[in-house]
Structure 1
Amino acid sequence: MAGLKGLKKQRRIQIIALAAVALLVSTALIGYAMRDGINFFRSPTQVVETPPAEGEVFRIGGLVEEGSIVRGQGETVTFRVTDMNQTVPVAYTGVLPDLFSEGQGMVGTGQMVDGTFQATEILAKHDETYMPKEVVDALKEQGVYVDPAESGS
């Protein structure tokens, strides 16, 4: 009878070990599959102070710097995005959102190439008061954002 009890205990340990291995493998596979889907947000200050790794896809956001939009290089548009502390040059090939303009909030997805953020996607605000939450947080961190609702305008 003692041999049967030991066999059951050994079998239980094997099943638990197998389940742990399966959990680790599935977690690793999910992490591997999502590696390109996780785009970390950075403000221009964070990009300048801690440059991202070569080829790392991330999101940058801030205000489109006044007087920085340059069109007419084929379909490529260049501009600078700022958080009023640091500024990062951006190049984007494609059609910009209708509401994209200087002094307005934007978020771009892409990667740094030779000191310029090469954007694959640009999002702009969609009404008078909206600004992406990450941009607001980054500007508040720099001490330059005033909530329009609080300023009374």
Structure 2
Amino acid sequence: MIMRRKRRLILVIGLVALVAIAAGLTLYALRANINLFFTPSQVATGEAPHGRTIRIGGVVKEDSMARESDSLMVSFVVTDFAEDVRVRYDDILPDLFREGQGVVVIGTLDHDGRFMAQQVLAKHDENYMPPEAAEALKATGNLTGVSKASSG
């Protein structure tokens, strides 16, 4: 009887330990895959983490786009009209990418303040801007040319 009770206790402790390990690994994996959203103003004030995948949203600044010769590398500035972030992207830009329009870029910020984008998401019509970017621009009082922030 004591032996049976001891086995049951060891089994329960083992199951609790396995569940705790599984929950911990799941939470770690979820935390590592979250892309936090920041505005250019938040990046300028140092709120954005360095070396971690984040999203930056705003408007592509007019006359800021520059292409490197003989490569796909392009650089442009994302602004919330209060602060700017220079973005470098080494791939084909979306067809709807334009200066003066809303954009969300996904990538990493290095310790020198340079943002290397892994993905560029452009708005898909005249009325759309990613909700996070629209809210950020509303907060700075610079939401112009966008009549609504909807998902489509």
With structure 2 as the length reference, what TM-score do the two structures score?
A: 0.81
- Deviation string 1:60-100 (CA, Å, 9 cap, x unpaired) is 11000111111234211111001111111000011001110
Contact 2:38 2:48 in 1 (8 A): no
**Paired amino acid for 2:99:** E
Match of 1:83 among 75, 80, 83: 80
Deviation at 1:18, TM superposition (A): 4.1
With structure 1 as the length reference, what TM-score do the two structures score?
A: 0.81
Deviation at 1:53, TM superposition (A): 3.4
Indicate whether 1:119 and 2:117 are aligned: yes
**Paired amino acid for 2:80:** D
Once the two structures are overlaid, the 10-residue window that deviates more, 119-128 or 43-52, is 43-52
Percent identity for Structure 1 against Structure 2:
40
Describe the SS at the equivalent of 2:44.
helix
Tell me the residue number matched to 2:99: 102
Once the two structures are overlaid, the 10-residue window that deviates more, 35-44 or 102-111, is 35-44
Match of 1:68 among 46, 49, 64: 64
Distance in 2 (alpha carbons) for counterparts of 1:11 and 1:143? 66
TM-align CA RMSD: 2.3
Tell me the residue number matched to 1:57: 53
More helix by share: 1
Deviation at 1:28, TM superposition (A): 1.2
Distance in 2 (alpha carbons) for counterparts of 1:108 and 1:39? 11
Distance in 1 (alpha carbons) for counterparts of 2:10 and 2:101? 60
**Paired amino acid for 2:106:** T
Which one has a bigger Cα radius of gyration?
Answer: 1
**Paired amino acid for 1:80:** V
**4+ aligned runs moved over 3 Å, structure 1:** 10-20, 51-54
Unaligned runs of 5+ in 1: none
Alignment: residue pair count: 145
